[in-house]
Amino acid sequence: MPFRHLPDSSVIARAPGKINLVLRVGPRRADGYHDLLTCFQAVDVWETVALSPADEFSIAVSGDVNLGEIPLDGNNLAMKAVAAVGRATGRTDAVSILIDKKVPVGGGMGGGSADAAATLIAINELWKTGLSQVELLDIAAELGSDVPFLLEGGTALGRGRGEILEPLKSSPFHWVIVPSMEHLATPGVYGRLDELRSEVDVVLPESLPDAFIDALYRGDPEALAPHLINDMAQAAIDLEPELEATLEKGLACGALAVMVSGSGPTCAMLARDHHHAEAIHAACSEGGRYAVVTTSPARGAHLVSR
């Protein structure tokens, strides 16, 4: 348990990080967002939050990852999640929020969105507000495009700006996640993508390839590998050229596929099995570089007992 000395009345919840196995991006919409066709998959890397009743609102963050750029005020997505449930239910009681982070910050794995998803579950329990999963999903979509998926977890086809979800069946897969020392802000990566495609007539595919869905279902990493695609990869590489070396290293170490996760700069490398993931991990962590072996899919946000 990452937290010490919590009051008995505290509620703890956790939510996973995500990778996008397929991320196709349509043209920029009038509201500034982009329609997506994506396959989200939750990974076994967790954000944990503890909420406690308090005299005033506060937020503190701990964890293994670079914490420098996380806002510790009302701009934090966990704080916004509490405020949104407050507006929906009329509650105004102050809470203190502790967040323990394992998902790379600003990495394209939905770490901030996972904090929001875990906080929605925790505050609903702390306040006994009894919001249903459907009501929480509506609030989640207001908070950010990835928050609904991180509430649901597993594997899902995402449309719209990522908030329209359809569950997909997936067997387990093994990955090595390689965070970067740098952060990329999502709007900047979308902006660079728009620049790169300014002369192109962008058409969003209508559906995921059948062979991809089949490989997911069967848990066949060799068949899955050629279908992994991220339309944002080049934009992320332009903004952080070092990424190219990380991706090349993954392939040189024998990963079946290497990809930029979401808007980057975290990279995800697909392995055949656990042993293969360990071998890729050993090669990628040479020189002290931080990398994590993980599996997917993981479950969505849920309460944790103490």
For ligand C5P, the closer of residues 148 and 221 by Cβ is 148
Query: Looking at 18, 80, 101, 102, which residue is catalytic?
Result: 18
- Minimum separation from the CB atom of position 303 to ligand C5P (A): 24
**With contacts defined by CB under 6 A, how many residues of the chain interact with ligand C5P?**
12
For ligand C5P, the closer of residues 3 and 190 by Cβ is 190
Q: Which of 7, 32, 205, 226 binds ligand C5P (CB under 6 A)?
A: 32
Query: Looking at 80, 101, 115, 146, which residue is catalytic?
Result: 146
Which residue type does 264 have?
G
DSSP per-residue string spanning 211-224: HHHHHHHHT-HHHH
Looking at residues 112 to 151 of the shown chain, list those that interact with ligand C5P (rule: CB under 6 A). Answer: 144-146
CB atoms near residue 306 (< 10 Å): 10
Q: Which of 14, 18, 34, 183 binds ligand C5P (CB under 6 A)?
A: 34
For ligand C5P, the closer of residues 30 and 245 by Cβ is 30
For ligand C5P, the closer of residues 100 and 146 by Cβ is 146
Tell me how far apart the alpha carbons of residues 49 and 118 are, in angstroms, rounded to a whole number. Answer: 6
Taking CB under 6 A as the rule, does residue 272 contact ligand C5P?
no
Q: Would you say 268 and 108 are in contact if contact means Cβ atoms under 8 Å apart?
A: no
- Is 249 designated active site? no
Which residue type does 193 have?
L
Q: Give the burial class of 200: count Cβ atoms within 10 A of its Cβ; 0-12 exposed, 13-18 middle, 19 or more buried.
A: exposed
Find the length of the chain: 306
Tell me how far apart the alpha carbons of residues 45 and 294 are, in angstroms, rounded to a whole number. Answer: 7
Instruction: Name 294's bridge partners.
Output: 175
Residue labelled with tokens 């656990």: 274
Looking at residues 167 to 226 of the shown chain, list those that interact with ligand C5P (rule: CB under 6 A). Answer: 186-187, 190
Taking CB under 6 A as the rule, does residue 162 contact ligand C5P?
yes
Residue labelled with tokens 């979800």: 165
User: In this chain, which stretch among 5-13, 14-22, 27-35, 214-222 interacts with ligand C5P, using CB under 6 A?
Assistant: 27-35
Residue labelled with tokens 């962008």: 202
- Minimum separation from the CB atom of position 266 to ligand C5P (A): 15
- Is 146 designated active site? yes
Looking at residues 232 to 271 of the shown chain, list those that interact with ligand C5P (rule: CB under 6 A). Answer: none
For ligand C5P, the closer of residues 41 and 52 by Cβ is 41
Taking CB under 6 A as the rule, does residue 33 contact ligand C5P?
yes
- For residue 110, give Cα distances in angstroms to 150, 210, 243, 284, 285: 8, 26, 19, 22, 23
Q: Would you say 107 and 20 are in contact if contact means Cβ atoms under 8 Å apart?
A: no
Chain positions contacting ligand C5P, by CB under 6 A: 32-34, 36, 144-146, 161-162, 186-187, 190
Residues classed as catalytic? 18, 146
